[in-house]
Amino acid sequence: MTARNAPARVDLIAGVFVVILGMAGLVESLRMPRFEARGIDPNTAPGVTPGLISAALLIFGLTLTLRAIRGGGTGSGITIHAWDRGAVLRTALTISLALLYGMLLFGSLPFVPVTAAFIFAFVVATELANPDRALSVPALLAGAAALALAAAFGIQLIFEEIFLVRLPG
pLDDT tens digits, one per residue of 128-164: 988 888 899 999 999 999 999 999 999 999 988 887 7
Question: Using 50, 70 and 90 to split pLDDT, how confident is the model at 123?
Answer: very high
pLDDT at 85: 80
Question: pTM for the complete prediction?
Answer: 0.60
Measured CA to CA, the distance from residue 35 to residue 132 in angstroms comes to 52
**Residue (of 42, 53, 21) closest to 164 by Cα position:** 42
Quote the pLDDT of residue 54.
Answer: 94
